[in-house]
Amino acid sequence: MSFNRSDIRNFLRGKIDKEASEQLLNEERKRESELREFAKSRSGKKIAQAGSRIKSASNVITEVADDQTGRMRETLYDISEFVEKLGSSLSSVGGGQVLQEGESASDALPTISELKKLIRAIKTLEK
């Protein structure tokens, strides 16, 4: 059952029957976050797939890092870790992972300090 503006107005004024008011309150409690609704959509599933592809790219970067030495190896490992975190975050946003109550998809994102560290490492390699 859906409610329009006049139904809600009547509810607030006390002019709606008890059954309809209970249904309106239950719908309010069942409301999902926008992110959860997106995760269930076709677009959300595409984002989860893209996140999985990004995570697999991090595995390739790790394999390449295994063949390198010194700073290049360390930098490639850092890049791989950064890319893996980004892919995991996108997978969880797109519904690839079920988030527990109180968890946030943004918790899996790499931090600003990790990005800055990565930028410094790449600049060092360029010298």
Q: Tell me: the pLDDT tens digits for 73-83? A: 999 999 999 99
* Consecutive H or E run containing 9: helix 5-12
Q: Determine the Cα–Cα distance for residues 37 and 56; give it in Å rounded to an integer.
A: 26
Whether 115 has a pLDDT exceeding 60, the answer reads: yes
Cα-Cα-Cα-Cα dihedral of 37, 56, 80, 126, to 10°?
Answer: -110
User: Cα angle vertex 65, ends 64, 66, to 5°?
Assistant: 90
Tens digit of each residue's pLDDT (9 = 90 or more) over 15-58? 556 666 677 666 666 666 777 778 788 888 888 889 889 999 99
Paired tokens of 127: 């010298």
